């Protein structure tokens, strides 16, 4: 690790590799990227920690893209737009059953396509997220 970053190939090498793959008729491997929200959150958290403060862990204080549910869905390849839509839908529901129904409905779409244990875990995280939001709103 160099200055807080992991050592990576220079971007020019990555681009040349991608160009080479395209010329050979292969599908190039896309480089890993972070969203603007992730970059801003990382900078913000870094500034907080540098002055001795810890960011709150309640989802009411974290950007929705940094909640456990959002991170879980992102690891499964769900796009940020879909994640934001799901989380926005959770905030409007009045019961845990309705929250699980939203996750089930979203899981059936081609963009998400969750089944089995992955769907069960997504429901658990969604209900926890919903409960934290409701608790925050009532306090």
pTM given for the model: 0.53
Distance from C-alpha of 41 to C-alpha of 62, rounded to nearest angstrom: 9
Residue 24's pLDDT is: 93
Q: Of 101, 104, 92, 81, give the one whose Cα is nearest residue 133.
A: 92
Sign, Cα dihedral of 53, 59, 64, 69: positive
Residue 91, pLDDT score: 77
The predicted-structure confidence for 51-83, as pLDDT tens digits, reads as follows 887 766 554 445 566 788 888 888 888 888 888
Contact 92, 62 (CB under 8 A): no
- DSSP letter for 28, please: P
Share of the chain above pLDDT 70, in %: 84
**How do residues 95-124 score in pLDDT, each as one tens digit?**
889 888 888 888 888 777 788 888 899 899
Residue-level pLDDT at 38: 77
């Amino acid at each position: 690790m160099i200055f807080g970053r992991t050592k990576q190939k220079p971007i020019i090498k990555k681009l040349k590799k991608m160009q080479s793959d395209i010329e050979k008729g292969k599908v190039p491997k896309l480089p890993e990227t972070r969203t603007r929200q992730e970059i801003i959150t990382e900078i913000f958290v870094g500034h907080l920690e540098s002055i001795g403060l810890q960011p709150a862990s309640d989802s009411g204080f974290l950007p929705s893209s940094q909640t456990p549910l959002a991170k879980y869905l992102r690891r499964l390849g769900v796009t940020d737009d879909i994640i934001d839509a799901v989380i926005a839908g959770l905030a409007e529901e009045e019961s845990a059953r309705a929250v699980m129904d939203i996750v089930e409905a979203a899981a059936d779409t081609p963009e998400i396509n969750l089944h089995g244990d992955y769907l069960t875990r997504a429901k658990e995280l969604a209900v926890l997220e919903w409960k934290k939001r409701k608790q925050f709103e009532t306090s």
